[in-house]
Amino acid sequence: MKLLWCPEMASKAYIDGVRVLADRDDLAGSAEVAELVSAMAGGWNAQLVVEAPDVSVSSSSRPASTSLTLTAAVRRTGGRYVSLLPDSDDSTSTAASSSSTVVVGDADEAMARLDGVDLLVLDARRRDAAAVLRAARPGVRGMVVVLHGDGRRRGATALAAASMAAGTRLVRSVYLPIGKGVEVLHVGVGKGPSLQSRGAGRPAGRWIRHINHDTGEEHVFRRQ
């Protein structure tokens, strides 16, 4: 089994996200990113969506725009939305007002309670971002990870490669020039090709693919 994309459901969830953000100027985070993840939750028909926001930023006293749009998206899919907060967080009550479920605690302990994650929306500014990714337990269809919030663009592919849990593999990584930059990862389960193993032990391919992270443009060069 694998995650299958439904354009019609993605459009409906996207519209739901746009509507829930309309006339709201009291929200933290990029509206573009929030609308994007709502479309992804709908398009992948996500049944378990987990968001790991960074509550240490100065805007944490305001509700996150992604929280509102993801909550709207799971109402569309009939799924469940969970907000993962670290221990001793002062914003728990704020997050709870717009979340279906709030889980507070250490990343390993908290994610152990969430089996079958379809979509993980992870703020790269979290100190335990790698731990959250490593502890995530995708379902049999695999998992989509959206990494955002880090303007330094340290590279989700490198983070994922160093944080993959046993039995999972990084199938694809795509960078999108939205907000401060968004990287989307497709995590597969079981045996199969992965970005880490492609090309290992084989001659280099005839084509080189390069993505400009500033513009999002993709360039393909042929080896001589």
Could you confirm whether domain 7-195 is CATH 3.40.50.1980? no
Given this model, what pLDDT does residue 199 score? 46
Given this model, what pLDDT does residue 58 score? 46
Q: Which residue has the tokens 């492609």?
A: 198
pLDDT in tens, 9-63: 999 999 999 999 998 888 888 899 999 999 999 999 999 999 998 877 544 567 7
pLDDT at 112 over 50: yes
How far apart, in whole angstroms, are the C-alpha atoms of residue 46 and residue 107? 21
The domain segmentation of the chain, as residue ranges, is 7-195
pLDDT at 86 over 60: yes
Average pLDDT, the chain: 78
In the chain, how many H helices and how many E strands?
7, 11
Helices 65-77 and 7-21: crossing angle, nearest 10°?
140
Mean pLDDT of 75-100: 69
How far apart, in whole angstroms, are the C-alpha atoms of residue 51 and residue 123? 8
Given this model, what pLDDT does residue 74 score? 95
pLDDT at 124 over 70: yes
